[in-house]
Amino acid sequence: MMKDFSLLEQKLGFNFQNKDLLVQAFAHRSYLNENPAFHLSHNERLEFLGDAVLELVVTERLYRDYPNQTEGELTSWRAALVNTRMLSQVARELDLNEFLLLSRGEQKETGKAREYILANTMEALIGSLYMDQGLESCRAFIEQNILGHLPEILEQRLFQDGKSLFQELAQEKVSITPSYAVLKEWGPDHAKHFRTGVYLGDELAGEGEGSSKQEAEEEAARDALIKKGWT
């Protein structure tokens, strides 16, 4: 059953001239595989466009508002604003999950897989907004919904990767260097999944999952930062 995208327009405060552009932003490739008669293409080209628009608007804002920061600092701040974690969080805040057009199989996916879909849909939505209403509407949308998260990123130091930050704080607070261990791994060789624990001595401080050991370790470090109250 087709979603009522007028509800989303009301929520976002935009009235699309070309309604198909809005719908297409939510059309995952898997949906077209199950619905070959669907009248639109999938959202990957809009995602490509939206990614560029998002990066431009965020870069311009950071460049203008923080004249004393180095290129490296601004780059890390931007990465924290436009990464999968942040974009999927914003997508959930806007209830974009309710409008995704997915195959029956993809509808069952949760966790990281759904995060990636939501983040890509956010970029596609920005691309569709740019095509329909231009850069200024995109700027207003990004300023309100994404750049508004900058204070928490700076306060919680989310621009620093979790492993580095957790190691720094662990050494500072308890004089221990964290260690990591794989707790569980599953899946075929081409699609392995890992659950990793981060330890402070014998204490299991946090756990994380990912499609690589590095990703799982990063998630474990973030989990430990939250559980320790070090964010």
Active-site residue list: 51, 123
Max CA distance (Å), the chain: 62
Contacts from 106-113 at CB under 8 Å and sequence distance 24+? 106/28, 106/30, 106/31, 111/209, 112/209, 112/210, 112/211
E-strand stretches of the chain: 179-186, 193-200, 203-210
Task: Name the one residue in this structure whose structure tokens are 């095509």.
Answer: 131
CA end-to-end distance (rounded Å), the chain: 42
Closest CA to 159 of 62, 88, 83: 83
Does residue 196 contact residue 228 with C-beta atoms inside 8 Å?
A: no
